[in-house]
Amino acid sequence: MNGAQPRVAIVTGANRGLGRATAVALAARDIRVVLTYRGDADEAERVVQEIQDAGGEAIAERLDLGDKSSFDAFRAGVLRRVDERWGRSDVDVLVNNAGVGVFGALESVSVDDFDTVVGTNLRGTFFLIQAFAPHIADGGRIINVSTSLTRHVSAGTSIYSASKSAVESLARSLAVELGPRGIRVNSIAPGPTATDFNGGAMRDDPELRRTLARSTALGRVGEPREIADAIVALASDGLRWVTAERIEVSGGSQL
């Protein structure tokens, strides 16, 4: 794609959880990583240090995906630092991992809840792609992180699941728009995974883990690295003929 130039990836929400695992896994494949965080700069810098200690290269930039007005400055800052650090005027991979989840029964969901989830997961993702699309190298990749909940149902997940279904539709449409430039756009749909998402319930609650494990073909919940490995595969040349797809990584959840 870029000859001898280093490949560069942006991973949103990479200070913890799936984003952190993805940033570390990409860096291990000799990809330079711009990782974003919203609130905990120290946490993000620990991920940068972890990558550097393993021989990789990374930088951290603050991004609030719910604040579209900040995107122009964020883009300018990222492109400036990428140029200064790695001599690139563009990037190769954009992983849209950052998102929020608000869960509750129909009658408990407020307008603010709805606006927060849709405004971050869908609106934020859409406009971040819009901001960076001109700066993604031809032949690049955009990978949206969705959820297995767009296939099977669970009570209290309506607005979260709906926002992620929209993100999957967005990926399919943009695959057509950006296809002439060789840019592949796909969605990864994780199943139950032991992260700190939703208060770390799937990571820290043994009974919940056992319940969710019984609903998977492989008999356990996933680990962040397993989702990250699937994202890395989509970012590689090995799946270069895959675009406009939803790839579920759930251990056979709720079959």
- Is residue 232 predicted with pLDDT exceeding 80? yes
**What is the structure's pLDDT at 255?**
85
What single-letter DSSP state applies at residue 59?
A: E
Q: Where are the domains of the chain?
A: 8-247
What single-letter DSSP state applies at residue 120?
A: I
**How far is 197 from 203, CA to CA, in rounded Å?**
9
Instruction: Establish whether 37 is a catalytic residue.
Output: no
What single-letter DSSP state applies at residue 90?
A: S
**What is the structure's pLDDT at 207?**
79
Higher-confidence position of 68 and 197: 68
- Is residue 3 predicted with pLDDT exceeding 60? no
Residue among 71, 103, 160, 197 flagged as catalytic: 160
Rounded (to 5) percent helix, strand, coil in the chain: 50, 20, 30
Encoding tokens for residue 208?
């919940």
**What is the structure's pLDDT at 2?**
46
CATH class for the region spanning 8-247: alpha beta
**What is the structure's pLDDT at 96?**
98
**What is the structure's pLDDT at 1?**
45
**What is the structure's pLDDT at 210?**
85
